[in-house]
Amino acid sequence: MKKLVFSLTITLLSIYSVFAQDVDKCKDHSLFTRMKGFSIVECTTNFNKLDTYNSAGEDIQFEGYLTYIDYIFNTETGEMPSNFQIIKNYQDAILAKGGKKIYTDENYGCFELKSNGKEFKILLRDFYNETNFKLYILEMEPMIQEITANAMLDALNKDGFIALSILFETAKYTIQKESLPIVEQIFELMKNNPTLKISIEGHTDNVGDAASNKTLSNNRAKAIFDALITKGIDKSRMSFVGWGQENPVADNRTEDGRTKNRRVEIVKK
């Protein structure tokens, strides 16, 4: 019986150890110390957009380098803190650092913070299963334009297509000003290669209604098509289509996967 009890104790300790361990290569953001009893089940850091709220609770979007962390609570350590307690914990930490509250309710916490010369937008959301919540920390910074016309041409000649991260207004098809340099490079590509013909193809993640996503992706592809015509590219050299969520290239169950699926592809014809 003692051997059985001892073995069971070791097994339980092993289960707890695995449960409490963070996913490989994930860690807390340098701005915050995590709350007791939580571990990380998913994380990403990349240039992205963050949909958050203003002081009136209205949708607003920012872009920059986004850190996303999904925390899970180990119920073996006690009772999961309430949504209010979690949001209040982060709010106190942010206010102590000189930041400010933008908007909070029982399911969201939106804050701003300036630290070491950098501006951050912070969002707490997705409290679900009474065990998880998600933390988003956006470091405000314009994306460095790295895609050139020559790089696009190389990709088209090698692979037949290139996927571009062109940002649009939330749920709209207005190209954000930060992405206009990419459109300019597509123009340079077409201008410098007068025999090249392309298809501009829009894609979305699976968030929302499939039919609406298809319409949105089509309108976004057309916005780029129209912008290139305005710049002087003959429309007979181009076509556009929206595929919506039909052709994912990554797992829509993760934040990083959804980011990769929101894309515009330039396809060589």
Q: Domain spanning 149-268: which CATH class is it, in words?
A: alpha beta
Instruction: Sketch the domain layout of the chain as residue ranges.
Output: 2-140, 149-268
pLDDT, tens digit (0-9, with 9 covering 90-100), for 85-116: 999 999 999 999 999 999 999 889 999 999 88
Residue 108's SS3 state is coil
Least confident piece of the model among 62-66, 118-122, 166-170? 166-170
CA 212 remoteness from chain centre: 20
pLDDT, tens digit (0-9, with 9 covering 90-100), for 142-173: 555 578 999 999 999 999 999 998 988 878 89
| % of the chain residues with pLDDT over 70 | 90
For residue 81, give every residue at least 6 positions away whose Cβ sits within 8 Å of its Cβ, in sequence order, or none. 35, 73, 89
As a whole number of angstroms, the distance between CA 39 and CA 43 comes to 11
- Whether the CB-CB separation of 257 and 216 falls below 8 Å is answered with no
State yes or no: pLDDT of 11 exceeds 50: no
Phi/psi at 116 (nearest 5 deg)? 50, 40
Residue 145's SS3 state is coil
CA 206 remoteness from chain centre: 13
pTM, rounded to two decimals: 0.54
Q: What average pLDDT does this structure show over 59-81?
A: 90
pLDDT, tens digit (0-9, with 9 covering 90-100), for 208-244: 999 999 999 999 999 999 999 999 999 999 999 999 9
As a whole number of angstroms, the distance between CA 165 and CA 205 comes to 13
Kind and range of the H or E element at 112?
strand 109-115
- Find the length of the chain: 269
Predicted pLDDT of residue 26 = 93
